[in-house]
Amino acid sequence: MSIKSEYLKLFINATEKAAYGASKYVGKNDKIGADQAAVDNMRSEFNNINMDGKIVIGEGEMDEAPMLFIGEKVGTRKGQELDIAVDPLEGTNFVAKNLPNAFSMLAVAEKDNLFFAPDTYMEKIAVGSNLPKNLVDLDNSVEKNISLLAKAKNTSPDNLTVCILERSRHEKTISSLRKMNVKLKLISDGDVSGVIYIVDKNSPVDMYMGIGGGPEGVLAAAALSCYGAQMQTRLVLDKSEEDRAKRMGIKDLKKKYNIEDMIKGDVMFCATAITNGDLADGIKDNNNFYETTTLALHKDGKINKLFKNKHNKWIQYQLLEKIGF
């Protein structure tokens, strides 16, 4: 069974309203205010949608977050049963400091079809589409994974570009890549968009690797599922996190997850840019209206495009001028 196609424009609207809320805080060094505005707007839109929705990846567990917490029910409870992963504001630092590549994003699947990832670290490696299946592996060395990708692309390592978070935990990996003369795209935050670079036709990135957030890994996997790309992940847990993961029903704590383990069946993914960036233009505020750019994907609907929309700020009405629904 697929997610009903009419939901896509409603979820686009949810990320666009969240992005607009956060956009009011661009450059104001108020990460908390920006995140709260995005959460408030997204939740308000969710609760207008005829769906029986459940947040499976959100702002935290019930005792940590007042809204969009893990397990929260959203929607009117009258429609399709859906599981939702949200990141109302990916790139809080980007908004606070007026830097590129801040997004509001979500992923939606049918009930029980999204991996219930705890809010922990996660190892990740991802490559694009039209490559041999199971090409790379987290248990391979950096050198082996690069060599396998170079061979599959009929090129040499010095022609490959790898995106990785610039963190001290990645110093050894970065050193290995530099020894192979691989080109690097180092990012400070925002590893969902970092993963999406591998399928963006305007991006030179061939591979994403490194340790980032677990929830962000599931959101990235949802997007890549719509492109037929490859991703493998594994949770990175300390002792207290191991106990929490077990309570969430995760039995094999060392398991490697491929996309099909994290995303089952149909999926929708929406990401609205808050600030200008590599993947999309940010919010443009034009007096009575604001303009948005959203990457929207629907796996079964074979939809993969950027939508540019215009919203009237003073009435609850959206002009879907450029959406062909």
How far is it, in rounded angstroms, from Cα 144 to Cα 237? 25
What's the one-letter identity of residue 152? Answer: A
How far is it, in rounded angstroms, from Cα 47 to Cα 41? 10
| Predicted TM-score of the model (pTM) | 0.94
pLDDT of residue 316: 53
The answer to whether domain 121-262 has CATH 3.40.1000.10 is no
Identify which has the larger pLDDT, 318 or 25: 25
Under CATH, which number does the domain 7-111+267-319 receive?
A: 3.30.540.10
173 closest CA partner among 199, 215, 143: 143
74 closest CA partner among 106, 46, 105: 46
Q: Tokens in use for 52?
A: 């029986």
The DSSP call for residue 253 is T
Identify which has the larger pLDDT, 59 or 144: 144
238 — pLDDT class (breaks 50, 70, 90): confident
Q: Which of 63-77, 144-158, 203-217 has the lowest mean pLDDT?
A: 63-77
Q: Where are the domains of the chain?
A: 7-111+267-319, 121-262
Q: What is the pLDDT of residues 101-122, one digit of tens each?
A: 999 999 999 999 999 888 889 9
How far is it, in rounded angstroms, from Cα 44 to Cα 70? 16
How far is it, in rounded angstroms, from Cα 94 to Cα 188? 9
How far is it, in rounded angstroms, from Cα 127 to Cα 196? 10
Residue 320 has pLDDT above 70, yes or no: no
